[in-house]
Amino acid sequence: MDRIRITGGNQLNGIIPISGAKNAALPLMIASLLTSDTLTLENVPHLADVEQLIRILGNHGVDIAVNGRRESQGEGYSRTVHFTCRTIVDTTAPYELVSKMRASFWVIGPLLARDGKARVSLPGGCAIGTRPVDLFIEGLEALGATMEIDSGYINATAPSGGLIGATYTFPKVSVGATHVMLMAASLARGTTVIHNAAREPEVVDLAQCLTAMGAKIEGAGTSTITIEGVTSLSGARHRVLPDRIETGTYAMAVAMTGGDVLLEGTRASLLENALDTLKLAGATITETETGLRVVRNGNGIHPVDVVTEPFPGFPTDLQAQFMALMTRAQGVSHITETIFENRFMHVQELARLGAKISLSGQMARIEGVSRLKGAPVMATDLRASVSLVIAGLVAEGETVVSRVYHLDRGFERLEEKLNRCGAQVERVSD
Ligand code: EPZ
């Protein structure tokens, strides 16, 4: 199994191209199930999660053709991918596939809306928390679906004339359930109003793509979204928005090591809260015509308290990375995780590098230390793994991060991007 070996101590200087967003690409790909025409997505990142979803969609009858790549970036960078689902050949999403990637559960929305039925495995828990699906069930029931749980599967059935528009208020903000309601309501009869919808940029991206496919959606990006159902959707061409979590991750890496890096092809509006937090921590961030320039020269890292929240708050997907940064702050900071109940697996691993962190319920107290020292570490999820890479960039000596497959789920060419800016990061195969 591959590992990543980091030799710490180098500043980052140069240009890092930001890829298309994993968490936008996944629901956009799933939206291809809604039409018999071709949906073409540009800027699809080359990631293990994307490849896994390609396999899952293939199982439902989606033909996939990959071509094109950005000039001068070589093989493997974000691509243009064509998805065509002439007919849905199978409305079952089996446990073996859904359990590997939670987002594949979201196929339930399009399958139900287009074919009137879906049998989708319950995803089960995962490393960062229990992650139930009650909001999906309630939301689709509000559209008239019958939802039955049977042997670990949800059997969903639409009324004979198809899903029916309705008003539904989410009791809690959920990105995935908002995606599913958007897709399902686009093909429902009548108007659907969703209150307390997720406002994440990835929801807006999906709404824009659905609109290009002929859906009638208003209010995406606010808490109330109105969808007027249409009888069918057509193909479209859509560009996946830049990855705000990748953006924030590299911005934190630069804040950690010091240096001057242009994060190319991204924009500040995707992550204002995280950028403001980084500025308080001592980074200088400016938006340029081509991206975001992140600089930290000379000054130390200041402690800053953060609380994770749904967008536009500080993202849970940057919590681990920010904690890594705070391990080197000049003082004490607190990080409160409010989205997932078990998203602190990186704490014990950061401690192996010399970090001083104590946990009390959902809050971590981080006492900055003047040095970290390299060690072998491992993590059980994507963002936790990359937090260890960030810590490794400044740790003395060698840090070896195992279970690299977590990183490959969400970071396109991580080693290459960091090394081009002066880091010493190497993939080691056993
Ligand atoms: C999305 O997950 C992202 N995944 C996650 O990124 C991200 O951490 C999360 O949103 C929050 O921003 C993708 O976009 C593929 P939620 P999602 O439904 O949609 C609870 C990463 O590292 N909940 O917004 O699954 C849930 O347990 C991943 O890229 C219910 O209680 O998250 C959580 O506490 C990890 N019932 C909260 O809502 C439900 O039916 C928010 O989860 C659904 C969710």
The model's pLDDT over 165-220, given as tens digits with 9 standing for 90+, comes to 999 999 999 999 999 999 999 999 999 999 999 999 999 999 999 999 999 999 99
Ligand 1: which residue has its CA nearest to atom 20? 131
Ligand 1: which residue has its CA nearest to atom 30? 132
Point out the ligand 1 atom lying closest to the alpha carbon of residue 198.
24
83 near 41, Cβ under 8 Å? yes
CA of 129 to the centre of ligand 1 (A): 10
Write the DSSP symbol of residue 151: T
Say whether 418 sits in a helix, a strand or coil. helix
Q: 68 pLDDT band (50/70/90 cuts)?
A: low
Least trusted range by pLDDT, from 55-69, 224-238, 388-402: 55-69
CA of 103 to the centre of ligand 1 (A): 9
Domain segments of the chain as ranges: 2-15+242-429, 25-239
pLDDT for 125 equals 61
Classify domain 2-15+242-429 by CATH number: 3.65.10.10
On the question of pLDDT at 70 being above 60, the answer is no
Least trusted range by pLDDT, from 73-87, 143-157, 190-204: 73-87
Tell me the CATH class for 25-239.
Answer: alpha beta
Q: 126 pLDDT band (50/70/90 cuts)?
A: low
Candidate of 339, 405, 406 to mutate for ligand 1, largest count of ligand atoms within 8 Å of Cβ? 339
Enzyme catalytic residues: 126
| Backbone torsion region of residue 312, taken as left when φ is above 0, otherwise alpha when ψ lies between -120 and 50, otherwise beta | alpha
Quote the pTM value.
0.97
Q: Report residue 355 CA to chain centroid gap.
A: 26
Residues 72-95: what's their mean pLDDT? 84
* Neighbouring C-alpha atoms within 13 Å toward the C-beta of 155: 4
CA of 428 to the centre of ligand 1 (A): 32
Point out the ligand 1 atom lying closest to the alpha carbon of residue 138.
40
Question: Can you tell me the distance from the alpha carbon of 397 to that of 273, in angstroms, rounded to the nearest whole number?
Answer: 33
The number of beta carbons lying within 10 Å of the beta carbon of residue 267 is 16
Question: Can you tell me the distance from the alpha carbon of 5 to that of 177, in angstroms, rounded to the nearest whole number?
Answer: 38
Write the DSSP symbol of residue 373: B
Phi and psi angles of residue 328, each rounded to the nearest 5 degrees, phi first: -110, 10
Sign of the Cα pseudo-torsion (300, 305, 308, 312, in order)? negative
The binding site consists of: 22-23, 102, 131-135, 172-175, 317, 339
Residue carrying the six token digits 């307390």: 196
389 near 6, Cβ under 8 Å? yes
Candidate of 131, 141, 181 to mutate for ligand 1, largest count of ligand atoms within 8 Å of Cβ? 131
